[in-house]
Amino acid sequence: MVDPARTTAGEERTGIQDPAYDQDPVIDVANLTIRYGQEVALRDATFQVFRREIFGIIGPANSGKTSFLRALNRMSDFNPDMHVDGTIRLNGKDVDAWRNVYALRSRVGVVFPLPVGLPLSVYENVAFAPRLRGITKRADLDQVVERCLRRAALWDEVKDRLNSLGSLLSGGQQQRLTIARALSQDPEVLLLDEFSIAVDPVTTMRIEDVLKELKGEMTIVLVTNLVQQARRLAHRTAFFLTGELVEIGDTEALFEGDVKDERTRGYIEGRFG
């Protein structure tokens, strides 16, 4: 692994300019190894993700990108074959130290590649998590639902059919509903795992606009199979390859060729992957 992520955020940047982005680590990963049985998905990765940055992760399939997200959100609890060694700290606290894993997941929202809606109305999809937190007054729930749908750029399209099933929305609308549902928990960190797979290019750009708006409010970890998407959105980008964190750097610098490993250049230029 070359120069893992202790890359400073204070260097002169040619990419996204964001005065709110600083070197305060929200996620601190140390010597992280993830296995499924005897198969290693990610090997000895060490890096940090900073507060209010969009952190991109690129790399071919089976490079360990999604496995990292699963470990961060404790999805390993659902998979007895998934073994995690090393540490992942969220705001200084080891994620394995959380006794209430649901409280952890309320701090770390996840948007999966395919929209996974609850078999409920549009309104109840967004109101579900706030209800679990004890928000029961209709007026308060109305405010939460509208705020989250607006933040997900969906309100104007669904405000007249909030009582319709979320599953009746188009694929792109369902993906934005998934984002609204994640936002309803007021997460500190939002994880997105190749959200563009199931949506059209126009919807992809709309969701990208949403992420640009959100970056000043929370930390976003963006796993993407579209390298140009990482270039458009990410402050820093990590390149994973066959379970190895190859390098991390300022996104625009990487795309301009300032790489420490030629494999990174090859992947960005489309020579493999």
pLDDT at 14: 37
Stronger pLDDT, 22 or 153, i.e. the higher one:
153
Question: Does any domain span residue 223?
Answer: yes
Question: Does any domain span residue 20?
Answer: no
Paired sense of beta strands 82-90 and 25-36, if any: antiparallel
pLDDT at 6: 38
Which residue, chain included where needed, has tokens 């009746």?
Answer: 168
Question: Does any domain span residue 222?
Answer: yes
**Residue 9 pLDDT > 70, yes or no?**
no
- Residue 54 tokens read as 């969009």
Question: Does any domain span residue 7?
Answer: no
Question: Does any domain span residue 2?
Answer: no
Confidence of residue 132 (pLDDT cuts 50, 70, 90): confident
- Cα–Cα distance measured from residue 64 to residue 54, given in angstroms and rounded to the nearest whole number: 19
Question: Does any domain span residue 273?
Answer: no
Paired sense of beta strands 82-90 and 244-250, if any: unpaired
Question: Does any domain span residue 101?
Answer: yes
**Residue 253 pLDDT > 90, yes or no?**
yes
Q: What is the CATH number of the domain that holds 36?
A: 3.40.50.300
Stronger pLDDT, 193 or 2, i.e. the higher one:
193
**Residue 99 pLDDT > 50, yes or no?**
yes
Question: Does any domain span residue 17?
Answer: no
pLDDT at 117: 66
pLDDT at 5: 38
Confidence of residue 76 (pLDDT cuts 50, 70, 90): confident
Query: How many domains in the chain?
Result: 1
**Residue 222 pLDDT > 70, yes or no?**
yes
Predicted confidence (pLDDT) per residue in 16-66, tens digit: 445 456 678 999 999 999 999 999 999 999 999 999 999 999 999 999 999
DSSP 3: S
pLDDT at 18: 52
- The domain containing residue 72 runs over which residues? 25-268
- Cα–Cα distance measured from residue 266 to residue 251, given in angstroms and rounded to the nearest whole number: 15
Grouping H, G, I as helix, E, B as strand and the rest as coil, residue 250 is strand
Predicted confidence (pLDDT) per residue in 238-252, tens digit: 999 999 999 999 999
Predicted confidence (pLDDT) per residue in 192-213, tens digit: 999 888 778 888 898 899 899 8
**Residue 91 pLDDT > 80, yes or no?**
yes
